[in-house]
Amino acid sequence: MPTIDRPRLQSLMQREQQRFVNDRPKSKALFDRAGKSLLGGVPMNWMAKWAGAFPPFVREAQGAHFYDVDGNRYIDFCLGDTGAMTGHSPLATVKAVEEQVRRGITLMLPSEDAVWVGEELQKRFGLPYWQFALTATDANRFSIRLARQITGRSKILVFNWCYHGTVDESFITLKDGVAQARRGNIGPPVDPAVTTKVVEFNDLPALEQALAPGDVACVLAEPVMTNVGIVHPEPGFHQAMRELTKKHGTLLMIDETHTICAGPGGYTRAENLEPDFYIFGKAIAGGVPGAAYGFTEDVAKKITERHNLEDCDTGGIGGTLAGNSLSLAAMRATLSKVLTKEAFDNMIPLAERWTAGVQKTIDEFQVPWHVTRLGCRAEYLFASKIPKNGTEAHDAMDFELERFMHLYAMNRGILLTPFHNMALMSPVTSKEDVDHHSRVFREAVKELVG
């Protein structure tokens, strides 16, 4: 099997950086200007992570494509890291937003759309009661608070190398079996080991051991890990996790913010999971900020029993703009007309095609990599062995190589997520878009090891 020749990789990277800069004078000028008012020249810290010397500044996006200010066209497989899984500015959502913008954006009062969305979420995901937040992070945070209140327990449990947004409790990893703050954790309020237990995905004995003392309020989990590459559950894992959580009085929180890619009812409906809480953000409103969390009848009853009208606005679950009319109008349109079963019927085969294209090159050049998929999401990882947990997936990451692959793709009109090698299909992505990626991926690998 060929190994990556690092000096060759570095010299190819230099060539690609030069090409990136040469092709983007207007983005470069905007970045230089931005450096005088925005920290690091970007509006959000992680936007500095794109593989080029600066991020391409966007002129406009539509469907599965966007143009930067220099007129370069991109096929967007990043799709706002799922926030735009609907495709950019889907017409139905845009229409609903345009109409709602003229009729009031945020009122601190409910609209009929809220009821419609609650009913739709009930049908889709099987949980009877719903609440809204502006981000998936907040939906997770609020669910955790409720789980703590209901169980009277202080700790939560997450899986090693998970990501659930900027939830303080979740920035914890295992090092040599010991839980510690995740690398890069900025100003944690307390050592996360105080609030959180962490075990490897697919490790049922470790899960049982962690739950046994009876101090864990909830397990917060993606049903398939998607933020360290894709890590699938082993057969029987979900059923066993459900049984263990029930046995030890721990609530099960399934965060489907990314795994909604598995189908219109997410992984939960596809695999008949039975969570106590369900979290869905990012794509739910077609890119307009909004998120939802749902829970069972039993959880709803326990929340209500503990509800205190006088303090309900200052109990730690809030957000003045949460549940606003604009995001609910956008959710209604997105759920009814964009993220439909028919859309998934189109998106999933495209991800299969993308996966097959990548696999063909892996086979041709015998690189020790693999490609995997969940619904309309696909991802390649720099290890031939399919990881069974976060550590194995994390150990396969190669920051230098990843940046090269991303930059090579960007220079040829393709955007992947900046964080790993993930591609998402939107309802309007085409076979040609996918085939262009297959060609570019092959060229990149050929240059690296051919």
Ligand X SMILES: Cc1ncc(COP(=O)(O)O)c(C=O)c1O
Compute the least distance from the CB of residue 188 to ligand X, in Å.
17
Dist. CA 327–CA 138, nearest whole Å: 15
Cβ-proximal residue to ligand X, closest one: 165
Tokens of 355: 């996966």
For ligand X, the closer CB: 161 or 404: 161
Closest CA to 51 of 82, 21, 7, 87: 21
Q: CB-side exposure of 357: number of CA atoms within 13 Å? A: 22
For ligand X, the closer CB: 81 or 113: 81
Strands (E), 296-361: none
Compute the least distance from the CB of residue 257 to ligand X, in Å.
4
Give Dmax (Cα) for the chain: 69
Compute the least distance from the CB of residue 283 to ligand X, in Å.
10
Compute the least distance from the CB of residue 419 to ligand X, in Å.
8
Residue 26 burial (CB count, 10 A): 15
Tokens of 270: 């596809």
Residue 393, Ramachandran bin (φ over 0: left; ψ between -120 and 50: alpha; else beta)? alpha
Residue in the block written with tokens 């004995």? 205
Residue 281 burial (CB count, 10 A): 28
Strands (E), 261-391: 277-280, 291-295, 370-374, 377-381
DSSP 58: E
Compute the least distance from the CB of residue 290 to ligand X, in Å.
10
For ligand X, the closer CB: 46 or 109: 46
Tokens of 89: 């500015």
Dist. CA 426–CA 431, nearest whole Å: 11
For ligand X, the closer CB: 283 or 410: 283
Residue 152, Ramachandran bin (φ over 0: left; ψ between -120 and 50: alpha; else beta)? left
For ligand X, the closer CB: 93 or 257: 257
Which residues contact ligand X by CB under 6 A? 81, 135-137, 140, 163-165, 222, 227, 255, 257-258, 281-282
For ligand X, the closer CB: 55 or 281: 281
Contact 170, 163 (CB under 8 A): yes
Compute the least distance from the CB of residue 163 to ligand X, in Å.
5
For ligand X, the closer CB: 282 or 302: 282
For ligand X, the closer CB: 88 or 442: 88
Compute the least distance from the CB of residue 100 to ligand X, in Å.
21
For ligand X, the closer CB: 27 or 135: 135
The residue count for the chain: 450
Compute the least distance from the CB of residue 140 to ligand X, in Å.
6
Strands (E), 200-267: 216-221, 251-255
Compute the least distance from the CB of residue 225 to ligand X, in Å.
9
